Amino acid sequence: MVFLISLFLFGMEVECKTVAKQLEITPRSCLDYLKRGFKSDGYYTIYDFKTDNCITVYCDMTSEAGSAWTLVMSYALKNRHMDQIARKTMQQDAPVNEHSPNWNLYRMSLSQMTHLKSQSTHWRSTCSFPTYKVDYTDYVRAKFTHFDIMTFLGDGICKKVEYINIRGHQCAQCTSKWWQQNSRYSPHIDSPSNGCQFVPTQGSVSSENNFGYYIEGVINKKFRCSAGPLSTTNWWFGGYL
């Protein structure tokens, strides 16, 4: 079975309807492909009902058994100062290379994210996925029903996550402290702060931020997302079989 379903098959452009006919479904997320037996990571196309178009996405089918994840944003540390990356929340429309998913500088449009959220149960953030995949170090995952990263706004608010690990500190089914404000800062954790169940203060540096907003405070090279200029922060929406 060919695992890569893209807008171009055998050098010819195909419509979403053709892809849907081949799969006997209209793929709306990476999970739809997993349900049809596609098990390889790569670029796929999904249908966006709001725009009535296909969009190309990157799917992770292998890192966590029985689940599929769609990349919604990824950027290298060297690009951390871009407004769309540093200061826009998940509920603001700030696309970057929205039609070309990549690790170094990519963010879906708000309409794409909103559509994908409707097909997802979970979100997660990973660090330098092409290098480490998922080994649950410097990683966070939550249910949208417990912590909706697309609607959350606040400063230092304890939010429930399924699992989180920062520099080896970890906990499951616990609360962690989050920040996100429109046009001020993207979602992130300030790991020197305590007050929630997850306390990653040991080994942190002054005003260290994790999973985003790396433009203020001191960068901790012991955190994988900020280990070097080519380190990447990766955000995903996904679900389980």
Tokens of 67: 């689940």
Tokens of 51: 């725009």
| Structural contact between residues 175 and 196, judged by C-beta atoms closer than 8 angstroms | yes
Strand partners, 56: 45
pTM (whole model) above 0.85: yes
| Structural contact between residues 213 and 179, judged by C-beta atoms closer than 8 angstroms | yes
Q: Which residues contact 51 (CB under 8 A, 6 or more apart)?
A: 111
- Give the pLDDT of the chain (241 residues) as one tens digit per residue: 333 444 333 332 345 555 555 555 678 899 999 999 999 999 999 987 777 788 899 999 999 999 999 999 999 999 999 999 999 999 999 999 999 999 999 999 999 999 999 999 999 999 999 999 999 999 999 999 999 999 999 999 999 999 999 999 999 999 999 999 999 999 999 999 999 999 999 999 999 999 999 987 789 999 999 999 999 999 999 999 9
Q: What is the pLDDT of residue 81?
A: 96
- CA dist., res. 59 & res. 68, Å (int): 7
| Neighbour count for residue 4 (Cβ, 10 Å) | 13
Q: Which run of H or of E encompasses 99?
A: none
Tokens of 65: 């058994």
- CA dist., res. 97 & res. 103, Å (int): 11
Picking from 58, 73, 60, the residue whose alpha carbon sits closest to that of residue 186 is: 73
Strand partners, 176: 159
| Structural contact between residues 234 and 127, judged by C-beta atoms closer than 8 angstroms | yes
